[in-house]
């Protein structure tokens, strides 16, 4: 039954093609101007075809955001494989997180609903825990040597995530402010440094 398999492959191709085209449009023109009709145009099919593969526009955006999480997770996992010292690992994670955000601002904005349509009512994304899992793991390794309760560790993870996310999202919304661009990076480095010392 090679024929049906080819059909399934074609169907999946269509799906990934829609996502790829959507991402391209977003990178070129921003979230605000992404429309179903533009996607249909770009894949050279009529509009309803898109609804054979996705329930609605939000679904497409959601799926794209999952791609973003997967991409981020891959880089964090690479750190984990390559770096054994937990403090160095934590620093590398922070750096990777930062770089991911500014190399893929479209992804980051979508993943965390920055300046996005309908992010408030969207599904809760379990992938938000990517950060908690990886950064958390590194922090826990550092902390186990010391005398810290689980709660305290959890707080540290949360605080750490917040600084990073705060710095990134504040910088993203003031992107015209070039002065801040070097400063933000330094603030992050300093904060990470201070954090690790205080663990």
Partner DNA sequence: TACCTTTGCTAACATCGTTAGGTATTTTGA
Partner DNA sequence: TCAAAATACCTAACGATGTTAGCAAAGGTA
Instruction: Give the chain's length.
Output: 199
Q: How far apart, in whole angstroms, are the C-alpha atoms of residue 46 and residue 37?
A: 8
Label residues 70-106 b or e (16+ Cβ within 10 Å = b): eebbebbeebeeebeebbebbbbbbbbbbebbeebbb
Say if residues 47 and 40 touch (Cβ distance below 8 Å): yes
State the DSSP H helix or E strand holding residue 99, giving kind and residue range, or none if neither: helix 86-103
Q: Exposed (0-12), middle (13-18) or buried (19+): which is 165, by Cβ within 10 Å?
A: middle
Residues 52-111 that bind DNA (CB under 7 A): 52, 56-58
Chain centroid to Cα 38, Å, comes to 24
Q: What track of x and - describes contact with DNA for positions 15 through 54 (by CB under 7 A)? A: ------------------xxxxxx------xxxxx-xx--
Please identify, using beta-carbon distances, which residue of 22 and 130 lies nearer to DNA: 22
Q: What track of x and - describes contact with DNA for positions 114 through 153 (by CB under 7 A)? A: ----------------------------------------
Residues 93-132 that bind a second copy (CB under 8 A): 109, 112-121, 124, 128
Among 16, 47, 155, 193, interactor with a second copy by CB under 8 A: 155
Using the contact rule CB under 8 A, the part of the chain among 2-10, 61-69, 84-92, 153-161 near a second copy is 153-161
Give the sign of the dihedral formed by CA 167, CA 172, CA 173, CA 174.
positive
Please identify, using beta-carbon distances, which residue of 46 and 129 lies nearer to DNA: 46
- Of 7, 18, 116, nearest to 67 by C-alpha is 18
In angstroms, give the least distance from the CB of 115 to DNA: 16
Please identify, using beta-carbon distances, which residue of 34 and 164 lies nearer to DNA: 34
- Of 106, 84, 99, nearest to 24 by C-alpha is 106
Q: Which residues make up the interface to a second copy (CB under 8 A)? A: 30-32, 109, 112-121, 124, 128, 154-155, 158-159, 161-167, 169-170, 173-174, 176-177, 180, 183-184, 186-187, 190-191, 194, 198
Binding site for DNA (CB under 7 A): 3-4, 7, 10-11, 14, 33-38, 45-49, 51-52, 56-58
């Amino acid at each position: 039954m090679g024929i049906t398999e080819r059909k399934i492959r074609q169907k999946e191709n269509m799906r990934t093609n829609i996502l790829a085209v959507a991402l391209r449009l977003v990178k070129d023109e921003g979230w605000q101007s992404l429309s179903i009709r533009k996607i249909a145009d770009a894949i050279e099919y009529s509009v309803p075809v898109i609804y054979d593969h996705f329930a609605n526009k939000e679904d497409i955006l959601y799926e794209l955001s999952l791609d973003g999480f997967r991409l981020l997770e891959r880089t964090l996992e690479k750190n984990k494989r390559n770096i054994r010292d937990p403090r160095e690992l934590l620093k590398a994670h922070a750096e990777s997180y930062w770089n991911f955000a500014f190399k893929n601002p479209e992804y980051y904005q979508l993943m965390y609903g920055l300046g996005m349509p309908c992010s408030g009512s969207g599904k809760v994304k379990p992938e938000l825990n990517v950060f908690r899992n990886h950064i958390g793991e590194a922090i826990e390794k550092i902390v186990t040597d010391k005398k810290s309760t689980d709660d305290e560790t959890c707080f540290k993870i949360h605080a750490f995530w917040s600084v990073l996310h705060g710095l990134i999202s504040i910088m993203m919304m003031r992107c015209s402010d070039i002065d801040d661009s070097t400063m933000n990076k330094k603030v992050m480095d300093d904060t990470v440094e201070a954090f690790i010392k205080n663990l």
